[in-house]
Amino acid sequence: KYQSLAYQRVLEINNQHLYPPRTAYFAEPLLLHQGHMEWLFDHEGNRYLDFFSGIVTVGVGHCHPKVNAVAQKQLGRLWHTSPIFFNLPIHEYAEKLSALLPEPLKVIFFTNSGSEANDLAMLMARAHSTNIDIISFRGAYHGGSPYILGLTNVGYFKMELPGAAGCESTMCPDVFRGPWGGSHCRDSPVQTIRKCSCAPDCCQAKDQYIEQFKDTLSTAVAKSIAGFFVEPIQGVSGIVQYPKGFLKEAFKLVRERGGVCISDEVQTGFGRLGSHYWGFQTHDIVPDIVTLAKGIGNGFPMGAVVTTPEIAKSLAKRRFCFSTFGGNPLACAIGSAVLEVIKEENLQENSQEVGTYMLLELAKLRDEFEIVGDVRGKGLMIGIEMVKDKMSRQPLPPEEVSQIHEDCKHMGLLVGKSGIFSQTFRIAPPMCITKPEVDFAVEVFRSALIQHMERKAK
């Protein structure tokens, strides 16, 4: 009884005092009490397998013992300095993080979030190129601050208020939903068993998308651009992948016009994609600026921008970069522990092995159910796009998607949902998950889909 009274009170506080009210996700919002690795527990002690890890953030697991121990030790030693002092955890972390990035990406600016990192990257691109226009894909999510919101192109995050100047969007070369379709072009194991109705051969589609991209570049206001922001795989808009080779060509075109290329690794970094540590490596490219957040701190608020010495200098000579909290000793100690755990526990390798296994198991659902339009992704970043039917690819109505999502929750599985039509389930669990847990999740999905079909048949 006490528990349910507490729950009601929490609901009231939520609706009266919190913005945005945290209720949209489930009909009955979850009141979480505790987390351990890939598991979450609610206020009544119910256990859930967390397949969304706090929106692709808790990469090494909730309350990981080693990360917790390091945080506690640092809490007892020194929480905070400020950029005016040296401190070993900061300098050690900077060395470790930069060693994971290829030349010439060696200079780090610490921030407190992904939006802040992307804001700074935008400023750097403009300071370095001395141009104004910045391009991002439709469907991109790069942050929610007023400045970076100009590059976030997901409808429900856009405001009917003046946005940041000099931001342009261009067509996303979405291999599933884009005008030229064709999921065959990514080197994903799913394609080997794919039975889909889609479209022309991938290489052709890549060229068509590149023509579109050139068209946007040629209409940029100044005819020369400051930069191009890209997520190696789009997260918020539903795990959207691009044709193989597209980004390589796009980067070349941007650089020819004086712009710098920014890879937003907020969701794709730190081994989540399995085959590589960073998302840009899966496209065989090296960006000029990389932005990091989410998984960098396993849930601790931190972010970073990593760039070349030249770009760093271009900004430094115009503006002294200062953040009171960015890269404080506590954040850096946690960041170091996260890097160590990824290495010691072979979490990148686990993402590759268990992620590929999951992709193949989920692909069976696509072949079993007409409403599962596409299963895609890489490593432990997977999307399941729901459609009315495979041929039309019209999105399954959001209320039906929400019901399936809710049914999964009732069976003990938490997944994300998003997509530009709210039609895609997002799966990005902590990287420590196991194959038996994947088997459980796939069975939950199968049951939820069967329940859905039964409801529709009535």
Residue closer to ligand PMP (CB basis): 144 or 412: 144
Residue closer to ligand PMP (CB basis): 267 or 308: 267
Among 131, 136, 263, 267, binds ligand PMP (CB under 6 A): 267
Structure tokens at 94: 């900077």
Site string for ligand PMP, 56-95 (x = CB under 6 A): ----------------------------------------
- Measured from the CB of residue 22, what is the shortest distance to ligand PMP in angstroms? 15
- Measured from the CB of residue 206, what is the shortest distance to ligand PMP in angstroms? 23
Is 298 an interacting residue with respect to ligand PMP (CB under 6 A)?
no
Is 119 an interacting residue with respect to ligand PMP (CB under 6 A)?
no
Q: Which amino acid is at 355?
A: G
The single residue listed with the structure tokens 């598991």 is 39
Site string for ligand PMP, 232-261 (x = CB under 6 A): ---xx-------------------------
Question: Which parts of 130-159 interact with ligand PMP (CB under 6 A)?
Answer: 141-143
Is 293 an interacting residue with respect to ligand PMP (CB under 6 A)?
yes
Among 115, 131, 188, 336, binds ligand PMP (CB under 6 A): 115
Count CB-CB contacts under 10 A for residue 132: 17
- Measured from the CB of residue 294, what is the shortest distance to ligand PMP in angstroms? 6
**C-alpha of 351 from chain center:** 15
Among 231, 361, 407, 437, binds ligand PMP (CB under 6 A): 231
Q: Candidates 12-20, 230-238, 353-361, 423-431: pick the segment binding ligand PMP (CB under 6 A).
A: 230-238
Q: What is the dihedral of CA 105, 110, 112, 114, to 10 degrees?
A: -10
Structure tokens at 360: 């193949």
Count CB-CB contacts under 10 A for residue 271: 27
Among 87, 113, 263, 314, binds ligand PMP (CB under 6 A): 113
**Distance between CA atoms of residues 144 and 114, nearest Å:** 9
- What is the gyration radius of the CA atoms in the chain, in angstroms? 22
Structure tokens at 400: 């039906």
- Measured from the CB of residue 296, what is the shortest distance to ligand PMP in angstroms? 10
Among 114, 178, 274, 287, binds ligand PMP (CB under 6 A): 114
Whether 186 contacts 196, CB under 8 Å: no
Whether 323 contacts 287, CB under 8 Å: no
- Measured from the CB of residue 113, what is the shortest distance to ligand PMP in angstroms? 4
- Measured from the CB of residue 171, what is the shortest distance to ligand PMP in angstroms? 19
Classify burial at 63, counting beta carbons within 10 Å of its beta carbon; exposed 0-12, middle 13-18, buried 19 or more.
middle
Nearest Cα residue to 143 out of 169, 111, 118, 112: 118
The DSSP letter of residue 296 is G
- Measured from the CB of residue 62, what is the shortest distance to ligand PMP in angstroms? 18
Residue nearest to ligand PMP (CB): 114
Whether 266 contacts 291, CB under 8 Å: yes
Is 264 an interacting residue with respect to ligand PMP (CB under 6 A)?
yes
Is 118 an interacting residue with respect to ligand PMP (CB under 6 A)?
yes
Residue 93: C-alpha distances to residues 287, 307, 361 (Å) = 21, 16, 38
Nearest Cα residue to 373 out of 240, 176, 100: 176
Q: Which residues bind ligand PMP (CB under 6 A)?
A: 113-115, 118, 141-143, 231, 235-236, 264, 266-267, 293
